[in-house]
Amino acid sequence: MDFRNRDVVSIKDFSKSEMDYILRYAKKMIPYARGERHADVMHGKILASLFFEPSTRTRLSFECAMNRLGGRVIGFADPGATSQRKGESLADTIRMADAYSDIIVIRHPQEGSARLAAEFAASPILNAGDGAGRHPTQCLLDMFTIVMEKKRIKGNRIVLLGDLKYGRTVHSLAYALSLFGAELVFVSPESLRMPKEVIEECREFGVDPVSTSNLERAIRDADVLYVTRIQKERFPDAAEYNRVVGTYRIDADLLRHAREDLIIMHPLPRVTEIDPEVDKTPHAVYFKQAFNGVPVRMALLSLIAGGRKI
């Protein structure tokens, strides 16, 4: 299996066996991600971390991953401090990052921006979220979390809840979970349903997701509940956002309907959709999930830009 110098624009860039391989390799990275063991496989390499949109976990876990592997990081978290402010094009900014680094991570509000970046850069491009499009590395860490918590993905009943229209994490995840043979239930407000093309992708793998707005019913026989935030920044109209905000919330009362071994995931940040009292229940795995971004991104960085040395 050869990952060297490959772009990761969409989760579809990987086959099922490649995803399996990355997840297994990520498991080996855990002690390195925790700082218990030390690796130097990215020594002499530079990661360009280009964040045109806000980020906490994705940016910091990528940067942490590169540092843990002995590499170095350049970049920005605020495009307002770059020549974009002077009117520079995305293509030219990418050309510069390409000249100054060995691998580029990009998050950008425009769908398709990572694909465009891949056209202008010789170095590999990792898509860290392109608008309401895709978020492949989040998908891998979500898959990794399910495997760590539930041993396997196949056969699990997984509820994707919330803003399925604008949420890029669920677009990538629905595809990958279908490929691995999970059962899918989509729960969302009527106006934020999963896009048709994502449902079509699931059907290609023989998975026929159930769409409903009845969360209480859906939660009863779920193995995994994947909660998402309403993506306020993607709404063309504030009135439309106000209509859906606060329409679902996970709290102790709702969880009385859940199975004991239900796990609750969330890509974070959460706003109002999970009551903080849920944090102390055994259902909550979202903070572990956020940590899992480090070993998964270490695995990816080292396979793509460093070669497998661990």
Which residues contribute to the site for ligand NCD (CB under 6 A)? 57-58, 129, 135, 138, 168-169, 228-229, 267-268
| In the complex, least distance from residue 229 CB atom to ligand NCD, rounded to whole angstroms | 4
Q: CB-wise, 87 or 236, nearer to ligand NCD?
A: 236
| In the complex, least distance from residue 55 CB atom to ligand NCD, rounded to whole angstroms | 6
| In the complex, least distance from residue 64 CB atom to ligand NCD, rounded to whole angstroms | 14
Task: Select which of 45, 134, 135, 297 is catalytic.
Answer: 135
Is residue 203 annotated as a catalytic residue, yes or no? no
- Residue 50 CA neighbour count, 13 Å, CB half: 28
| In the complex, least distance from residue 220 CB atom to ligand NCD, rounded to whole angstroms | 26
- Residue 187 contacts residue 160 (beta carbons within 8 Å): yes
Is residue 107 annotated as a catalytic residue, yes or no? yes
Distance of CA 270 to the CA centre of its chain: 14
CB neighbour list of residue 100: distance below 8 Å, 6 or more residues apart = 46, 48, 74
Task: Select which of 86, 151, 196, 256 is catalytic.
Answer: 86
Task: Select which of 58, 93, 145, 228 is catalytic.
Answer: 58
Q: CB-wise, 39 or 230, nearer to ligand NCD?
A: 230
Task: Select which of 6, 107, 157, 171 is catalytic.
Answer: 107
Q: CB-wise, 68 or 168, nearer to ligand NCD?
A: 168
Is residue 56 annotated as a catalytic residue, yes or no? no
Q: Among 149, 210, 205, which Cα is nearest to 179's? A: 205
List strand residue ranges (DSSP E) for the chain, in order: 46-51, 72-76, 103-108, 125-130, 157-161, 183-187, 210-212, 224-227, 263-265
- Residue 238 contacts residue 276 (beta carbons within 8 Å): no
Q: CB-wise, 7 or 142, nearer to ligand NCD?
A: 142
| In the complex, least distance from residue 41 CB atom to ligand NCD, rounded to whole angstroms | 25
In DSSP notation, 212-256 reads ES-HHHHHHT-SEEEE----GGG-S-HHHHHHHTTS--B-HHHHT
Helix (H, G, I), strand (E, B) or coil at 264: strand
Q: CB-wise, 23 or 41, nearer to ligand NCD?
A: 23
CB neighbour list of residue 66: distance below 8 Å, 6 or more residues apart = 42, 45, 47, 72, 73, 301
Q: Give 107's strand partners.
A: 51
User: What span, in angstroms and rounded, lies between the C-alpha atoms of 131 and 200?
Assistant: 21
Is residue 57 annotated as a catalytic residue, yes or no? yes
| In the complex, least distance from residue 310 CB atom to ligand NCD, rounded to whole angstroms | 25
Distance of CA 257 to the CA centre of its chain: 28
Q: CB-wise, 45 or 55, nearer to ligand NCD?
A: 55
Is residue 58 annotated as a catalytic residue, yes or no? yes
User: What span, in angstroms and rounded, lies between the C-alpha atoms of 195 and 148?
Assistant: 29
Active site residues: 57-58, 86, 107, 135
